[in-house]
């Protein structure tokens, strides 16, 4: 295995970032990397990239694929290497020094890339190639890479006049700074909260496994007793099980108000400015609003197409959620409660309603969902589908002692890449779960094997005890590993289209599709085993779990779809609109008839998908758009009569998981399935199939 474009040795400063790494698989030597190394490494890498770009622009020969597109693909390797390490650490194991550098680097990086992506000379070379693409003798992958570069330059504003480019550069830099500040504010609010509990009264209702995890968290933070944090894997189970309504309210309000507490970490003014700048940017590029700009290069193409899907699902989900609400209010009265169900009550009474309707509770299931066994299930599924094997590696550098590494090999026994699992919540880690990489697959500079990472925030058990997952946690594990497979199985030549470099509303297909295998009886029978006895989950419990997979689906869908609608509403505003983010949120939710007892899954002040850099700005709908695809895609295995059908799995591998962005996403899906799907498969999957339901009158757009 060879790494891309090995950097020259560094000066005698002892900075390991610009040097050749002699570590196993050339993984970054994390034990040697210090925060102070990044400024020097970034400066050197930025200068090197500028020199490479200048050489491409100065090329005397007429533009060719080799001297322009391939040259662009080969440029910036040192910069990418430094950035991959830096962004991993700022997300998964940060500190004040790294966060300070992140604030400094965000506008610098935006300025650097904006200068390249709007460069008239570079765009002129790319445009000249695009105009005669059919005469260049390019293969299909090369044509796609050329098209992606041309689209990227055009959407970045390379064709604008100098005044517009100047303003666009200012907007780009400012947005980068705002996105960094937004995410750091949320992190600060999460780090500052720790609800310490002790004594039977405050722990009432909490299962043993939760108490052990909360005690472990207290020890991690050097606190006494048991601690609830604002990690989703800590806060949500507490809301689900705690008998103390006053404490549930306290945790809920802290969780819901991240980024919305006034003072230095408040994000509301940042939201207003970001939305305004994005609208202005879209206008400079010839679009009526940011949503139209963003969706122009997505599968959905238009906001209207997205709203059609969201409104269809919203009406059905809302009806289901309201029926569940009424049933839970009855439970409140039955158990002597003299109060109206509130948002901090929903998960608690939903758990009681599930016990009544489905004859099991989360505490019954969790002992069978040992993290180590669920990791085995994830790997087993990949082995059955794609012939992969996973062998632990103890010789590879890692950024935290909890990180685990596996060597991944293909059906032929040859190395595919390395997979890193960073599973546990800690104060130095941002909330949520994500897939990232330290190196992407490619074949241009050499046959490069990827280094792929899953980062999660599961509540870690006490020393010597196994970490137990909720079913939602296990689903997250499968989801993120689906992304990891997209990176590991990538088999393309050019980095531009490798792995997850696909449209945002297509990138969730491989991850959401992979979740389906968790719910399959033959997988659960094999891996859902009691952490103490090793006994498999009783068959009647397994069947009840599967039968109840759509329990509370109205709630889950409402909180998600509301977030997607509000995101789209924000980014459908024209430039110059005055924005009060709280008033806007309130009005948008009133218009669609949001139940009072449910809040958005991500309220705007902590909506990192949309405002921590904007990867999902005007595109949070993508999870549901991809779910239309994944529900239909899994049906292909069901129709084959085998959830591991070899022919279907090979087609899935070849057209989706290994193909990266080498095709238009619609063409890629049709290559797998033979057609595009309708929303019916999604509605069936979520339990919403049936006659169409009109949306509330207030939801009209």
**How many whole angstroms separate alpha carbon 125 and alpha carbon 55?**
13
Q: Which of 499, 456, 502 is nearest to 475 (CA)?
A: 456
Q: Which of 386, 385, 392, 388 is nearest to 407 (CA)?
A: 392
**How many whole angstroms separate alpha carbon 510 and alpha carbon 512?**
6
Q: Which of 662, 657, 507 is nearest to 143 (CA)?
A: 662
**How many whole angstroms separate alpha carbon 122 and alpha carbon 49?**
14
The two tokens of residue 24 are: 């196993």
Do 594 and 247 form a contact (C-beta atoms < 8 A)?
no
- The upper half-sphere exposure of residue 82, i.e. CA atoms within 13 Å in the direction of its Cβ, equals 28
* Cβ burial, residue 191 (10 Å; 0-12/13-18/19+): middle
Paired sense of beta strands 415-424 and 451-458, if any: parallel
**How many whole angstroms separate alpha carbon 407 and alpha carbon 454?**
14
| 539 carries an active-site annotation | no
Residues 6+ apart with CB under 8 A from 262: none
**How many whole angstroms separate alpha carbon 593 and alpha carbon 587?**
10
Do 417 and 441 form a contact (C-beta atoms < 8 A)?
yes
**How many whole angstroms separate alpha carbon 599 and alpha carbon 608?**
16
Provide the terminal-to-terminal Cα distance of the chain, rounded to the nearest Å: 54
530 secondary structure, DSSP code: -
* Helix spans in 286-437 (H): 290-295, 303-334, 346-358, 362-365, 371-386
Q: Which of 562, 489, 553 is nearest to 683 (CA)?
A: 553
* Helix spans in 435-470 (H): none
89 secondary structure, DSSP code: H
Beta bridge partners of 434: 455
Do 581 and 610 form a contact (C-beta atoms < 8 A)?
no
Q: How far is residue 671 CA from its own chain's centroid?
A: 25
Do 79 and 45 form a contact (C-beta atoms < 8 A)?
yes
* Cβ burial, residue 11 (10 Å; 0-12/13-18/19+): exposed
448 secondary structure, DSSP code: B
**How many whole angstroms separate alpha carbon 13 and alpha carbon 204?**
56
Q: Where are the beta strands (DSSP E) in 219-305?
A: 226-228
Residue linked to tokens 């697959």: 441
Residues 6+ apart with CB under 8 A from 504: 298, 615, 616, 619, 622
Q: Where are the beta strands (DSSP E) in 518-656?
A: none
SS3 call for 50: helix
Beta bridge partners of 389: 409
Do 472 and 439 form a contact (C-beta atoms < 8 A)?
no
Catalytic residue among 52, 351, 480, 627: 480
The two tokens of residue 217 are: 């968290």
| Residues belonging to the active site | 480
């Amino acid at each position: 295995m060879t790494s891309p474009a090995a950097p020259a040795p560094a000066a005698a400063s002892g900075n390991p970032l610009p040097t050749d790494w002699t570590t196993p698989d050339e993984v970054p030597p994390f034990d040697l990397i210090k925060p102070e190394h990044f400024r020097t490494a970034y400066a050197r890498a930025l200068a090197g990239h500028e020199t490479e770009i200048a050489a491409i622009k100065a090329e005397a020969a007429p533009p060719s694929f080799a001297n322009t597109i391939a040259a662009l693909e080969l440029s910036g390797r040192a910069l990418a290497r430094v950035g991959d390490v830096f962004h991993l650490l700022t997300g998964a194991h940060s500190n004040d020094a790294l966060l300070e550098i992140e604030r400094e680097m965000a506008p610098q990086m935006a300025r650097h890339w904006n200068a390249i992506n709007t460069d008239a000379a570079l765009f002129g070379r790319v445009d000249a190639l695009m105009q005669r693409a059919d005469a260049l003798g390019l293969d299909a992958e090369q044509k796609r890479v050329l098209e992606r570069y041309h689209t990227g330059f055009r959407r970045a504003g390379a064709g604008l006049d100098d005044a517009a480019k100047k303003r666009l550069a200012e907007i780009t830099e400012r947005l980068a700074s705002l996105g960094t500040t937004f995410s750091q504010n949320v992190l600060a609010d999460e780090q500052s909260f720790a609800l310490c509990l002790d004594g039977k009264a405050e722990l009432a209702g909490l299962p043993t496994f939760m108490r052990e995890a909360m005690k472990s968290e207290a020890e991690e933070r050097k606190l006494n007793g048991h601690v609830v944090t604002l990690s989703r894997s800590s806060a949500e189970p507490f809301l689900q099980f705690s008998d103390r309504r006053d404490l549930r309210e306290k945790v809920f309000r802290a969780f819901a108000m991240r980024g919305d507490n006034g003072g230095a970490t408040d994000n509301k003014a940042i939201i207003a400015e970001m939305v305004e700048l994005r609208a202005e940017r879209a206008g400079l590029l010839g679009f009526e609003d940011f949503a139209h700009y963003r969706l122009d290069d997505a599968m959905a193409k238009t906001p209207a197409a997205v709203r059609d899907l969201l409104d269809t699902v919203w009406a059905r989900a809302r009806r289901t959620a309201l029926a569940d609400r009424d049933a839970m209010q009855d439970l409140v009265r039955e158990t002597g409660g003299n109060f109206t169900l509130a948002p901090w009550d929903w998960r608690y009474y939903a758990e009681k309603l599930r016990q009544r309707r489905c004859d099991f509770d989360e505490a019954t299931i969790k002992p069978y969902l040992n993290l180590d066994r669920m990791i085995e299930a994830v790997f087993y599924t990949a082995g059955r589908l794609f012939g992969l094997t996973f062998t632990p590696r103890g010789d590879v550098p890692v950024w935290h002692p909890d990180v685990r590494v596996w060597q991944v090999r293909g059906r032929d026994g040859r190395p595919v890449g390395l997979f890193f699992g960073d599973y546990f919540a800690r104060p130095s880690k941002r909330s949520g779960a994500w897939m990232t990489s330290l190196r992407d697959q490619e074949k241009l500079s050499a046959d490069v094997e990827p280094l792929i990472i899953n980062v999660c925030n599961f509540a870690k058990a006490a020393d010597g005890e196994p970490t137990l997952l909720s079913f939602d946690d296990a689903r997250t594990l499968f989801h993120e590993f689906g992304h990891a497979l997209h990176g590991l199985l990538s088999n393309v030549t050019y980095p531009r289209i490798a792995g997850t470099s696909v449209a945002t509303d297509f990138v969730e297909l491989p991850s959401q599709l992979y979740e389906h295998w968790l719910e399959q009886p033959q997988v659960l029978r094999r891996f859902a085993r009691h952490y103490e006895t090793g006994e498999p989950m009783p068959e009647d419990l397994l069947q009840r779990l599967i039968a109840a997979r759509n329990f509370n689906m109205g709630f889950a869908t409402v909180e998600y779809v509301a977030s997607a609608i509000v995101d789209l509403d924000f980014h459908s505003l024209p430039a110059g609109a005055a924005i009060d983010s709280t008033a806007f949120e309130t009005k948008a939710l009133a218009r669609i008839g949001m139940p009072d007892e449910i809040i958005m899954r991500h309220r705007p002040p902590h909506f990192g998908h949309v405002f921590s850099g904007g990867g999902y700005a005007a595109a949070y709908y993508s999870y549901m758009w991809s779910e239309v695809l994944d529900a239909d895609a899994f049906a292909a295995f069901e129709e084959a009569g085998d959830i591991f059908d070899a022919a279907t799995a090979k087609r899935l591998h070849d057209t989706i998981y290994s193909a990266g962005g080498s095709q238009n996403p619609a063409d890629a899906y049709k290559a797998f399935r033979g057609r595009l799907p309708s929303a019916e498969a999604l509605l069936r999957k979520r339990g919403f199939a049936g006659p169409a339901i009109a949306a509330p009158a207030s939801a009209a757009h």
